[in-house]
Amino acid sequence: MATEKIGIYRRWLGKVPRINGNLAPKSKWPKCRRHSWTVRWFGNTGKRCSRNFKTRTLAEQFARKLQTDINRGRPDKPDKITFSAFAEEHKEVMAGQVAYATLCDQIRALRFFEKFIGGSTLLASIKPREAEAFIAHRLASELTVATVNKDIRTLRRIFNLAIDPRGYLQEGQNPFGRIKQRKKSQQPVRYVEITEYQALLNATEKLWWKSLISIAYGSGLRRDEIFNLTWQNIDFENKLICINAKKSTKLTIEWEPKDHQNRIVPISEHTIQLLAELQLKAPEGHPYIFITSQRFKVIKRREKAGKWNSRCEAINNVGRDFGVIRRRAGVAKCTLHDLRRSAITNWAKYLPIHVVQQFAGHSNITTTRKYYLSVRPEDITSAGQIFNKIMEGVKHD
């Protein structure tokens, strides 16, 4: 897009003609010297651009059209770049702008698409039909529909960045822009009953596990949010947990909450009591609740060596050990994340949905509705009783 006023200039052609044996004066050049007309402007990169025309009328017509395009915000013709070069640039530019796990997902999707499309393919030449072919190829590879849908969302986002702010594509050129996600049947949310929760607590003698299970079921925290809790995050007096980002210091590990959202979540009296007991047994001066001092030293060494990122497990074998507790408790298959989902479902019974969304830490309320609110057995029973009353009214009529 031009950034300065567009100019129209004569461009003189050939030598200065002679009149009566003498060089023609400049005042006579427009009538006796060959010339064309040039439109000059500066692009949005600062590069000087120009275009020649035979007549002034044609030059003025082009200048008016160019000025109209500028006023409407229409960009210059995008620079040419191969898909391979764009992928490398994206990797460098986005480092630090998005979570490490998100960047890994984007690099993975770009790598698969580059293998399919070819790294030497010009970015601007990629069409929606090639995006469709790639999705068909991924589905034929026996991947789950959820994985393929994630590829669609990720690549759509990346190609949007190629339009704005990078300017490699024009508006409407996103090959994944109109690719619809494939439909899949929604799996029922595993709801953990209060009796099952109590059984899980009774199945372990370790105060560490009792506290973790209680926070997951009572406050609905994600697993990495629980593991990155410090004692400063617990407000014992007001019964609150503060989820916030942490910088790398001598006493803390660098960590960012999902979607970079800090939030405050209520905590039950029972969980507060468990944490108070756990704090009494904690090493003096050790800040973390669930990361032991030995594990903390290991993490800091890996962090210093550049071998630690957000995808590394703060605590190993948690899923395996929880499975042992679950089987000992006689509880049907569930995960720590199912405890979080159950907490959100419990909140929804008494709180407005926007409050539930805030406590859950969801950036989009659709996520709260779609993936976390389950239908409990008592809901089905209540619905059946209501239906019976309706049918009784029909019989009486």
Cis ω for the linkage preceding 352 (within 30 of 0): no
How many Å apart are CA 353 and CA 343, to the nearest integer?
13
Average pLDDT value for the chain: 88
- One CATH from 1.10.443, 2.60.40, 1.10.3470, 3.30.70 for 195-334: 1.10.443
- Residue 92 burial (10 A CB sphere; 0-12, 13-18, 19+): exposed
Give the torsion sign (CA, 370, 108, 244, 201).
positive
What are the domain boundaries of the chain? 7-72, 83-163, 195-334
Are 353 and 365 in contact by the 8 Å Cβ rule? The answer is yes
CATH number, domain 83-163: 1.10.150
Closest CA to 339 of 156, 196, 183, 157: 196
Mean pLDDT of the region 75-82: 73
Which region among 216-220, 296-300, 385-389 has the lowest average model confidence (pLDDT)?
A: 385-389
Q: Give the pLDDT of residue 111.
A: 96
The yes-or-no verdict on residue 371 having pLDDT over 80 is no
355 touches 220 (CB < 8 A): no
Measured CA angle at 89 (ends 86, 93), to 5 deg: 135
Which residue is associated with the tokens 């200039």? 9
- Mapped onto helix, strand or coil, the DSSP state of residue 16 is coil
So what's the pLDDT on residue 2? 47
Q: How far apart are CA 347 and CA 219, in angstroms?
A: 9
Residues 363 and 259: their CA atoms lie apart, in Å, by 7
Q: For the ranges 75-79, 98-102, 197-201, 298-302, which has the lowest average pLDDT?
A: 75-79
DSSP 265-319: EE--HHHHHHHHHHHHTSPTT--BSSS-HHHHHHHHHHHHTT---TTS-SSTTHH
Per-residue pLDDT reduced to its tens digit, 163-197 = 888 889 988 899 999 999 988 777 778 899 999 99
Report angle CA 136, 121, 75 to the nearest 5 degrees: 105
